[in-house]
Structure 1
Amino acid sequence: MMGLSDQAILEQLQALDRMHHLHPFTDPQAVKKAAPFVIEQAKGAYITGQEIRLLDAMAGLGCVNIGYGREEMADVAVEAIRTLSYYHSFSAVSNPYAAALAGKIASLAPAGLNKVFFANSGSEANETLIKLAYLYWRRKGQPSKRILISRDYSYHGSTLATTRLNGNAPMIEDFGLAGGDDVLQATSPFWYRCGGDLEPEEFGLAAARDVEKKILEAGAENVAAVIAEPIQGTMGAIVPPDSYWPELSRICTEHDVLLIADEVVTGFGRTGHWFAQETFGFEADMMALAKGLSSGYAPISAAVISDEIADVIEDKGGVLHHGFTTSGHPLASALALKNIEIIETEGHVEKVHADIGPYFSKKLKTLEDHPLVGEVRVSGLIAGVELAKDKRSREQYPLEASVCNHVGQMALVRGLIVRPAGNVVVLCPPFIITHAEVDFLVGVMRDALDETQRALESS
């Protein structure tokens, strides 16, 4: 990579980017007003760009679990490209890396989830699961089961189908995707915002039973699946009450509705177990995996289905008319295998569960005494710092006040990357973060909150 210490080269790249690069989840006008920040390199838990070094408390987009710039990952990439740069997996063709990776995922997955379909992103994995759910019910002679139930504050992807599942109004309304009765939204288990006077465990049961209400209103004979993130990461690191997931699982089983666990963020150790299903005590019929599968070193995702679903799909025969050019790509599969090996051999899941996760939680929760903080939610190495205009009533700041964005900017100028999400500061650091780096993170967050409070008081 060319060095960006040369100001002329940097400005040329920024000009090209501004003219030709349409950025995801970015206001194009913002790029026109200010040159994009060009990141040149990354190592460990830090990224560097334009001679600025930042601790990345978001691990990219909650994906770089093993940290940046691992030499062993580079070695695997070189070997895979030299050995088998590409071949497809259509028409019963495989490659050593994809075959081994499918077996590895099945060996780690919760019991009964043994069949793996490879894709390239969490969106594609979730859309694959939707199609497989439809196929399953059709082959069982129940084609009327087409309705999908999602939840408020959910995020399942950016394809046409997965966008409609999201609890993010602008993503739906901007593209004219609202309407239709095949996707229903249920209450999120977001106690802080939605719990009212109920205790958290009471509210967890009530939120699960709102899903049941939606099933009964639609008719269970018409509902294909409930799709839900164990922790709703993108919209605020929403950690559900402990009562929620066992009750939701019971409801789906009772009404013969498939349960899809979107473990794109939580899979591969984020919550201190290999999968959040273990953390929250439930078993899904299907699950989506992506971010932590390769730690972001290559685009890859997996749609994993139960033996029972696979048996119905396979025993009926016929071609599975679904797939992607790069499904099971040799390079991506090789990197995912090595990533999982690193997580295993370095004991990261155990460390998140018993060491760095509890330390992260203990230190971060000290921020709950700050006047701007309503609560701090933590599970393993994912957290949400909820801002509150009034701590007693749990009143939010109006979004147009951009209070959360101000906190994020104040953290950034102090050397820390976090993710503002409405009125929540989301943190999702790499597994390799140290105790000292957690201390730095929490100190910066307190300074950023103090600076924001002063700005609010002076306005």
Structure 2
Amino acid sequence: MTIQPNSIEGRDRAYHLHSYTNAKALERDGALAIERGEGIYVYDASGKRYIEGMAGLWSVAVGFGEQRLVEAARRQLETLPYYHTFSARTHGPAVDLAEKLIRMAPVPMSKAYFTNSGSEANDTAIKMIWYRSNALGKPEKKKIISRIKGYHGVTLASASLTGLPNNHRSFDLPLPGIFHTNCPHFRAFAQEGEDEAAFVARCAADLEALIEREGAETIAAFIGEPVMGAGGVIVPPAGYWQAIQAVLKKHDILLIADEVICGFGRTGEMFGTTTMGLEPDIITVSKQLSSSYQPISALLINDRVYQPIAEESGRIGTFGHGYTGSGHPVAAAVALENLAIIEERNLLGNVQALAPLFQSRFKALESHPLAIEARGIGLIGALELAPREGFATGQLGPKLAAVMQENGLFSRAIGDSLALCPPLIITEQQVGAMFDIFEASLDQFQAQLKVA
């Protein structure tokens, strides 16, 4: 397709540096311009319709074009379009949302702190933990343990937590004091003859060995997603989180649950923490909090975390941290309305009702000649392609994603895994249509490979 210089695609190519994009390839090929959205669908500038199988970026729970969220933003813009939460000032939407989140929390929490993205939330969690360690007179207790293939964001600190190579390469990351332990992907990382129970035991033993090697007195926290998202939709084996938490409790190490993808219904429970039996000290949320209609995220902290921070701020005279947009009134108002929709329309019930179909359609694709593994839970899943001679690891996934896009379905290629994470409003018929495209695209891609 020829890109006209004055078109949106042409001007995008001339002026816009994209996230998670090959900039040189974009110079050559340009970007796909999305013009509008409705329900589970989005439409490009030519009018072509796509099923948004990734809910944008794992996030648009209530679908596109939800007028109640538009009206919530409009009402708040007319009343108080902006105010901050610095210097002991507040406003109704921030208070209402903080109260709502603390009451919704899957385990007892004390306070909500607002940020603007999952990356900022996890970055702030690190700062809070360091601040707390100093307050407790343990200045050496600062190290954080994350996991290989974990995803926690892209700021300097949160990208260091992330356990994916392309978030570190050429950025001089990770920062010192961040460590990565085993990824709980049984098929990929189990040793020969190892069953799931033995694999779980080894993951816990390796974590404990890392703690003992570094010194438990130097390690402040462990962070993990209940179910890994951007690392490839990795559901840990039974007993994994119980084994990991036992090690953390033994060594007095805080647990941060990154619920940025799992939170607000994705796994079939309101929080992945409940699904996986976690007892975190900090929970970070974003994405489905506002269905990404507005940028907002939050940390929920328990009293064990809050009290030392409060004491230290009293000693210093302030908690010297914050963002201009923390608790933004418009974003908070939209988040409150979004949560109301999730509850009133019983979208959690919709996830529970459709998850068996969704997961069975994924599992059926596992028998395709190109596939090696299907995995998922609730309304999130991925199909991993088998290695193929002549293709380097990570080359097949994007090629299949391009075929799926041409056929009207947006997925996400995570290496050679193709992920789906549709809006929670999806219907049974739409689930069927989505997987019909997925299956047809696999067959079409297989035919292309044979020709090649």
TM-score, shorter chain, exceeding 0.5:
yes
Q: 2:254 aligns with which of 258, 266, 284?
A: 258
Contact 1:57 1:417 in 2 (8 A): yes
Cα distance in 2, alignment partners of residues 334 and 377 from structure 1:
35
Q: 2:109 aligns with which of 113, 121, 145?
A: 113
TM alignment of 1:286-325, pairs within 5 A? 286-316=282-312, 317=314, 318-325=317-324
Q: 1:4 corresponds to which residue?
A: none
Q: 1:448 aligns with which of 437, 441, 446?
A: 441
After TM superposition, give the deviation of residue 299 of structure 1 in Å: 0.1
Cα distance in 2, alignment partners of residues 286 and 209 from structure 1:
24
Contact 1:148 1:183 in 2 (8 A): yes
Structure 1 residue 351 corresponds to structure 2 residue 344: no
Contact 1:403 1:452 in 2 (8 A): no
Q: 1:245 corresponds to which residue?
A: 241
Q: 1:398 aligns with which of 392, 396, 420?
A: 392
Q: 1:127 corresponds to which residue?
A: 123
Structure 1 pair 305–348 and aligned structure 2 pair: CA distance change class (3 A): same
Identity level (%): 37
Q: 2:48 corresponds to which residue?
A: 52
Q: 1:326 corresponds to which residue?
A: 325
Deviating 4+ runs (over 6 angstroms) = 7-10
- Letter paired with 2:361: K
Contact 2:58 2:422 in 1 (8 A): yes
- Could you say what secondary structure the match of 2:339 adopts? helix
Cα distance in 1, alignment partners of residues 175 and 264 from structure 2:
35
After TM superposition, give the deviation of residue 362 of structure 1 in Å: 1.7
Write out per-residue CA displacement over residues 392-411 of structure 1, whole angstroms, 9 at most, x where no aligned residue. xxx996226x2111211111
Q: 2:148 corresponds to which residue?
A: 152
After TM superposition, give the deviation of residue 33 of structure 1 in Å: 0.9
- Could you say what secondary structure the match of 2:274 adopts? helix
After TM superposition, give the deviation of residue 455 of structure 1 in Å: 2.5
Cα distance in 2, alignment partners of residues 9 and 342 from structure 1:
41
Contact 1:388 1:397 in 2 (8 A): no
After TM superposition, give the deviation of residue 15 of structure 1 in Å: 2.3
Write out per-residue CA displacement over residues 94-147 of structure 1, whole angstroms, 9 at most, x where no aligned residue. 110000000000011122223111000000000111111111111111110111
Write out per-residue CA displacement over residues 286-337 of structure 1, whole angstroms, 9 at most, x where no aligned residue. 1110111100100000011111211221134231110000100000000000
After TM superposition, give the deviation of residue 389 of structure 1 in Å: 2.9
- Letter paired with 2:405: L
Q: 1:3 corresponds to which residue?
A: none
Cα distance in 1, alignment partners of residues 337 and 174 from structure 2:
41
Cα distance in 1, alignment partners of residues 6 and 200 from structure 2:
52
Contact 2:107 2:280 in 1 (8 A): no
Cα distance in 1, alignment partners of residues 356 and 32 from structure 2:
33
- Letter paired with 1:23: H
Normalising by structure 2, report the TM-score. 0.95
Q: 1:364 corresponds to which residue?
A: 362
Cα distance in 1, alignment partners of residues 273 and 440 from structure 2:
36
Cα distance in 2, alignment partners of residues 22 and 368 from structure 1:
37
Write out per-residue CA displacement over residues 393-444 of structure 1, whole angstroms, 9 at most, x where no aligned residue. xx996226x2111211111111111001101101111101111111111111
Number of paired residues?
A: 446
Q: 1:432 corresponds to which residue?
A: 425
Structure 1 pair 449–175 and aligned structure 2 pair: CA distance change class (3 A): same
RMSD of equivalent CA atoms = 1.8
Cα distance in 2, alignment partners of residues 203 and 107 from structure 1:
36
TM alignment of 1:203-214, pairs within 5 A? 203-214=199-210
Contact 2:3 2:9 in 1 (8 A): no
Cα distance in 2, alignment partners of residues 266 and 280 from structure 1:
11
Cα distance in 1, alignment partners of residues 34 and 47 from structure 2:
9
Structure 1 residue 27 corresponds to structure 2 residue 22: yes
Contact 2:222 2:253 in 1 (8 A): yes
Cα distance in 2, alignment partners of residues 52 and 287 from structure 1:
39
Unaligned runs of 5+ in 1: 1-6
Q: 2:334 corresponds to which residue?
A: 335
Unaligned runs of 5+ in 2: none
TM alignment of 1:165-244, pairs within 5 A? 165-178=161-174, 180=176, 182-197=177-192, 198-244=194-240
Q: 1:101 corresponds to which residue?
A: 97
Contact 2:60 2:291 in 1 (8 A): yes
Cα distance in 2, alignment partners of residues 371 and 213 from structure 1:
40
After TM superposition, give the deviation of residue 178 of structure 1 in Å: 4.5
- Letter paired with 2:29: A
Cα distance in 1, alignment partners of residues 27 and 66 from structure 2:
35
- Letter paired with 2:11: L
